[in-house]
Amino acid sequence: MKPEKITTTTCPYCGVGCTLQLHVRDEFIYKVTSPFDSPVNHGNLCVKGRFGYDFIYHSRRITTPLVRRYLLEGKSIFDIRDSANPDGALRIPSNELSNNNSPWDWVEVDWDTALDITADKLVEIYKRDGSDAMAVYCCAKATNEDNYLLQKMFRAIFRTNNVDHCTRLCHAGSVVALQQAVGSSAMSNTAAEVIQNDVFIVTGSNTTENHPIIALQMKEAVKKHGAKMIVIDPRRIELVDFAELWLPLKPGTNVPVFSAMAQVIVRENLVNWDFVNRRTEGVDEFIASLDKFTPEYAESISGVPADLIRRAARLYASAQNAAIYWGMGISQLSHGTASALALIHLAFLTGHIGRPGTGLNPLRGQNNVQGASDMGAMPFHFPGYMRVDAPGNAEKWEKAWNVEPGGLSRKLGLTTTEILSHAHPGGIRALYIMGENPMMSEPNLNATRRHMEQLEFIVAQDLFITESAAFADVFLPATPFAEKDGTFTNTDRRIQRVRAAHPPRNLSRRDSDIISALALRLESRLERPTAKWDYAHPSEILREMASVNPDYAGVTYERLEKVGLIYPVPDENHPGTPDLFIDDFPRGRGKFTPLDYVPSVELPDDEYPFILTTGRVLEHWHTGSMTRHSDLDALYPEALIEIHPADAEIHGIHNGDPVKVSSRRGEVVLRASVTEKTTVGVIFIPFHFHEAAANLLTTDALDPQAKIPEFKACAVQVFPAREHDLQKPEAVTQRGRY
């Protein structure tokens, strides 16, 4: 078939940011390829990038605005709560179009009706309860421009910093640690530089399944360039087959292992003292804190043999160019910040930072989680990581947004998890959700459900009625990546173009158009004009943001046309900055921080003897709202629990058997995959499947600094499932037939 056109754009899945060519005919994408000259993926694509675009045309996609019947009848949620839900919650989830005259029925409406109702309810709650009652979830799947506008709307109009997105649930620990230690939270180098490494560490990242194209580059570095790879992970991931060393630590024991490596580097005088003395501070106190972190001590906690720890430390420290790549196995812990700091210390001690082929490289999970963070979709920062409570920052955005002096809030906002835990009278009353799915992504989902039920007004701006959108009062149908223009920023800090392949389906609208139309209504009702909302093109939105954010100052759509730009880009003549910290760190000197070992909140015991860790699989992505509406679902159609053969034998579990997994918070039933991919005492469950939602089990304990939940370690029990377990109804919420 010959295409009518080929649209070059950027992949909507993981943070690699692969270049896609969408082959279009009759306003339908029928094939995806990639150019070999792409600097990111060189023509390679994973299964999601090449085949995972058909969710755009799924029959369950919502393309007409929906409003609950009770709102159309002029009623308040308080008028229907008793009849709708006698248990005392304000709302019940419902995701099907019906005509049974229930107040909770979804009713199709035009855009003016949906936006007017949304504006009226948001203004009503804001006038009654103030800024602290308002909150918004921005979206790492949406463009930079979408996220910038949404956080701007809530900050400039509702005067709240209760703004966050899924970075709180993935790399918040890394962000806080990097900000504290170097003053910048992004990757210091690019993933492609792995071929320049003599040695590199991969830890807390199943790169082959989570960032497949980066994994190809890692394998090439080993096979073609002779690099030595060290894998530090509880699971025997595929990269172990290519590794020089594998350190199979127990989940939650990162700090002892990395600190023991640091002790070996100090004790054996492998420290790059020239770098330490010129570029860092606090090293004496840090070295004194290492006394207890002997390799033998780390072995007693982590299970990693002391000799392996010594070998890994020597290999990394002795390299000419070494780098560290890490994922959410580092950050998604109640001590995630400390785990990331322990990695940063290794780079400081050895000087493996500030040069090409070195660096500290957190691999970002979603396609635009880096960009959404850059755009200010966080409760502590305006765009460009400008602290909301630091002198002078708010004044810059007040001027840009035409807000009166002192009008923007200087108060730190609530994080993602805190927003829901504050859903009660006197707390959060209105929640706007763009593309996020907290009813799958939050920990301890039974508690999350109770919080969602207490919200007075919920707006969902999305493609599908997800598990979270089922709780909403208004549904605003948005467009996917292939129906909008904008930019994504990948894990390398590379800003790239997103281009529409065909117009929006039916009545669906681009996210930025929805936000602009709503913002104008809000301003009118509040008589509070701010900066412009009538943008002729997304490029104007990016330029507004870049006029204040110096990292993006030299970024224009014209300059992004071919291969994008890696920020910082301080002016329009600057070529971009692939490698950071060449001469100094943003905070001046890199800061060492003495650490202690703090165990995970839940450790195995006689009642719950296993450690559960969660994550992703190659065929799916995040909460499944895209891939589970794709033919990709047929490749991995159900949740599986990975359990080691020794554990399976003890518990009488065979491959393919249904098993029940329970924690102190909930239980799920799913089939067993008996495999040596996991280690004894550790089980793994992917979190994409609403039928067996892993986050029904996880603890909502938080890292006290980053406020990130402990997804990677909680105590569970595993039993063979019985007949009545198999008949247990779903504990989250059904997707419905619509």
pLDDT per residue as tens digits for the range 436-480 = 999 999 999 999 999 999 999 999 999 999 999 999 999 999 999
Q: Which residue in 33, 144, 44 sits closest to 366, CA to CA?
A: 144
Residue in this structure with the two tokens 């019940």, named with its chain if needed: 92
Domain assignments of the chain as residue spans, ordered by start: 5-51, 112-165+368-484+498-556, 172-362, 610-726
Q: What is the pLDDT of residue 729?
A: 46
Model confidence at 83, pLDDT cuts 50, 70, 90, reads low
> Is the CB of residue 616 less than 8 Å from the CB of residue 329?
no
Model confidence at 98, pLDDT cuts 50, 70, 90, reads low
192 DSSP 8-state letter = G
Model confidence at 731, pLDDT cuts 50, 70, 90, reads very low
Q: pTM, whole model, 2 decimals?
A: 0.95
Q: What is the pLDDT of residue 2?
A: 77
> Is the CB of residue 261 less than 8 Å from the CB of residue 705?
no
> Is the CB of residue 418 less than 8 Å from the CB of residue 428?
no
* Helix, strand, coil percentages, rounded to 5, for the chain: 35, 15, 45
Q: What is the pLDDT of residues 629-656, one digit of tens each?
A: 999 999 999 999 999 999 999 999 999 9
Cα distance between residue 597 and residue 254, in whole Å: 9
Model confidence at 734, pLDDT cuts 50, 70, 90, reads very low
> Is the CB of residue 106 less than 8 Å from the CB of residue 64?
no
Q: Give the strands of the sheet with 430-434, arranged side by side.
A: 106-108, 66-68, 474-477, 457-462, 430-434, 134-137, 163-164
Domain 5-51 has CATH 2.20.25.90: yes
When pLDDT is averaged across residues 75-89 and rounded to a whole number, the result is: 70
DSSP string over 14-83: BTT--EEEEEEETTEEEEEE--TT-TTTTT---HHHHHTTGGGG-TT---S-EEEHHHHTT--HHHHHHH
Q: What is the pLDDT of residue 621?
A: 85
Of 599 and 168, more confident: 599
* Residue type present at position 583: D
* CATH (one of 2.40.40.20, 3.10.129.10, 3.40.50.11890, 3.40.50.300) for 610-726: 2.40.40.20
Cα distance between residue 317 and residue 347, in whole Å: 9
CATH T-level assignment (fold) for domain 172-362: Dimethylsulfoxide Reductase; domain 2 (3.40.228)
Cα distance between residue 266 and residue 260, in whole Å: 10
Burial 134-158 (b: 16+ CB within 10 A, else e): bbbbbbbbbbbbbbbbbbbbbbbbb
Cα distance between residue 150 and residue 156, in whole Å: 10
Strands 19-25 and 28-33: antiparallel
CA atoms within a 13 Å half-sphere pointing along the CA-CB vector of 415: 18
Residue in this structure with the two tokens 């936006």, named with its chain if needed: 115
Token duo for residue 329: 């196995």
Of 102 and 468, more confident: 468
What distance lies between CA 194 and its chain's CA centroid?
Answer: 23
> Is the CB of residue 473 less than 8 Å from the CB of residue 77?
yes
239 burial class (0-12, 13-18, 19+ CB within 10 angstroms)? buried
Q: What is the pLDDT of residue 79?
A: 83
CATH T-level assignment (fold) for domain 112-165+368-484+498-556: Rossmann fold (3.40.50)
Q: Which residue in 135, 121, 23 sits closest to 78, CA to CA?
A: 121
Q: What is the pLDDT of residues 205-217, one digit of tens each?
A: 999 999 999 999 9
612, containing H or E segment: strand 610-615
